[in-house]
Structure 1
Amino acid sequence: MHTTREQITGLVLAGGRGTRMGGVDKGLQPLHGEPLAAHVLRRLAPQTGALLISANRHADIYAALGATYRATVIPDTLPDFAGPLAGLLAGMRAAGTAYLLTAPCDSPWLPADLAARLTQALDANHADIATVTTLDARGNASLYPVFALLRTALADDLAAFLAAGERKVRAWYARHKTVEVVFTDERAFYNANSLQELADLERDRGPG
């Protein structure tokens, strides 16, 4: 059975500390005159039904950013910035759909066919999780685990994993049937981890 857009809730992950950017709220840093998270919301919105924003700071600003897309802001249920899995868990608990599509707030060029390709792979392989890998010109692979389509029914298992003190995304994925979908455009998944990388993005208009 084919998964439809209405069965997918989108989640923008904006709940981190932004340590490598000096502790700033990464999703609110400007790119081409708009916050990074606004670019991600714009690209994610046509691919999903409902939208959520995982944020542990500046909830009012994120709510204003998400208003155009009727996005709901949700905080982590775990304290002390417990990492992306905590954001995934909050999203899975808040979603009223069978699937959650996640993307980080600092990747403004995510593909317009991200949901379609992950959905196709998840359905075809009867998988629980579909995530992204890229191949460069030399055939070297890079995994982007926070770009993922997940079954929200996995929430209890993820909660138990986190309760045991585990935090690694790939380690949790390994507990479930996960399929990696190959994308050839690495630039679509470029993320700004530092102010220098954000400056580099500012000079580049993106992949099209």
Structure 2
Amino acid sequence: MTTPATDSGGIVGCILAGGLSRRMGGSDKSLMMLGPRTLAAHVAARLSPQVDLLILNANGDKDRFAPLGLLVIPDGIPGHLGPLAGVLAALEFTRAHVPGARAVITSPADTPFIPEDLVARLVTGAGESGHIAYAASKVGPHPVCALWPLDLAEPLRAYLSDGGRKVLDFVRDQGEIAVPFEPATLAGQEIDPFVNINRPEDLGALEPFFANLTESDAGTPTGSPVIGVAGWKNSGKTTLVARLVAEIAGRGLRVATVKHAHHSFDIDHEGTDSWRHREAGASEVALVSSRRLAIQTELRGDPEPSLDAVLARLGPADVVIVEGYKGEAIPKIEIRRREAASHDPLAPADPLVAAIVADHPVNDAAGLPVFAIDAVPAIADFILDHVGVHVAAS
């Protein structure tokens, strides 16, 4: 069972996939298959539930990682300087774009068994020390599986600029806490939870552990691919979402939606049987017929569920379109309209904005694609391509 990061306190996770994979013959190691998932997808599936935002550090063409549905950030220093360059990129991105974050957790993209309580234990291990907390097992230290305080960005950049490359040397210079992890037991065998894959034979040796993992288990770490449509009040979000749903569903794809309401709403009516169940105190009421299923959850003073919690309750879909939630860490289309309540742009302040839709000329796109508000087929094409969904030719 996955352990959510309930006490993580603003942790950004980063999968490090920026290496050259020389011992794999130069192939993109993070995208090699282990069972029905890529190595990066295995890591993402374990790390995503533990953090508040998951990103991926990689260089080159970002589109090759589109099926993961993660924001991809390259090294901020050229020259393929090793994992510390990826750590620096994650620290600098988080400081610039994730207000309230307290630290970054990193994991290599080739460690498919990372513990499902990695984040909680590193956070607890670090405490209030301000030191780097890294994982250690019987095999030895694993300093790339670590919690990095954000104020390390400047000393890390200086270390790299001075020619430093060794992760453990930098960690020890800055102050360290080694957090011990016991071996994991998988398929009746003991295995180091931080075992990594460097050579083709390593990949083959781990295949038996994934013999029972089916294709249905091999989706993206957050389930179905997700994209948002965000904008200010009266910008036309609902109209655009409805038209996109019709367009994408018309192509034979399954579309789910999430709509955030800023007001009280009710989908039931006084006097119905289900209304009486709710009024009697039921926490959840399921209405089922041959045509429709609806599950109503009464919060009764509990906090509004997170978007991740809502997405986790949805059934399988080819794509989920989220209306609203403009502050959420999901890729999104920004919609602008002359009649909107505000004309403050979301892009470029939000690096997750992937494109802009507008009913007027846009002069501040900063390289983002811009679509006319009625160009629904083209917007749908962009969305499906961006989240890595492709319709087979008939």
Do the two structures share a fold, i.e. TM-score over 0.5?
Answer: yes
Instruction: Identify the residue that residue 204 of structure 2 maps to in structure 1.
Output: 199
Q: Is 1:11 matched with 2:14? A: yes
Following the alignment from structure 2 to structure 1, what is the Cα–Cα distance between the partners of residues 44 and 150? 20
Instruction: Quote the Cα distance in structure 2 between the aligned partners of 1:31 and 1:176.
Output: 36
Alignment match of 1:112 (pick from 107, 110, 116):
116
Output one character per residue of 1:129-172: Cα deviation in whole Å (capped at 9) or x when no partner.
1001112xxxxx51111100110111011001111011110111
**Structure 2: unaligned runs, 5 residues or longer:** 1-5, 184-190, 212-394
TM-score, normalised with respect to structure 1: 0.89
Query: Match of 1:176?
Result: 174
Q: Which residue of 2 aligns with 1:148?
A: 146
In 2, Cα distance between the equivalents of 1:147 and 1:22?
24
- 2:68 equivalent in structure 1: 66
| Equivalent residues in 2 for 1:73-92, closer than 5 Å | 73-92=72-91
Given that 2:34 and 2:210 are in contact with CA atoms closer than 8 Å, whether structure 1 keeps it comes out as no
**Contact (CA 8 Å) 2:15, 2:57: kept in 1 or not?**
yes
Shift of 1:4: 3.4
Say which SS state the counterpart of residue 189 (structure 1) adopts: coil
Q: What amino acid maps onto 2:68 in structure 1?
A: G
Letter of the 2:107 counterpart: A
Contiguous gaps of at least 5 residues in structure 1: 136-140
CA deviation after TM superposition for structure 1 residue 34, in Å: 1.5
Deviation at 1:6, TM superposition (A): 4.5
Q: What RMSD, in angstroms, separates the aligned Cα atoms of the two structures?
A: 1.8
Question: What's the counterpart of residue 186 of structure 2?
Answer: none
Q: Does the CA contact (< 8 Å) of 2:9 and 2:102 recur in 1?
A: no
Q: What count of residue pairs does the alignment treat as equivalent?
A: 195
**Identity of paired residues, percent?**
38
Give the greater-gyration-radius structure (CA).
2
Counterpart Cα distance in 2 of 1:58 and 1:200? 29
Structure 1 position 187, deviation (Å): 2.1
Which has the higher relative contact order, 1 or 2, with Cα contacts under 8 A spaced 6 or more apart? Answer: 1
For residue 25 of structure 2, what is the aligned residue in structure 1? 22
Structure 1 residue 203: Cα displacement:
2.2
SS of 1:166's partner is coil
* Structure-to-structure mapping, 1:116-127, within 5 angstroms: 116-123=120-127, 126-127=129-130
Instruction: Give the TM-score, by structure 2 length.
Output: 0.48
Structure with greater proportional helix content: 1
Which contiguous aligned blocks of 4+ residues in structure 1 show a shift greater than 4 angstroms?
A: none
2:35 to 32, 35, 39: 32
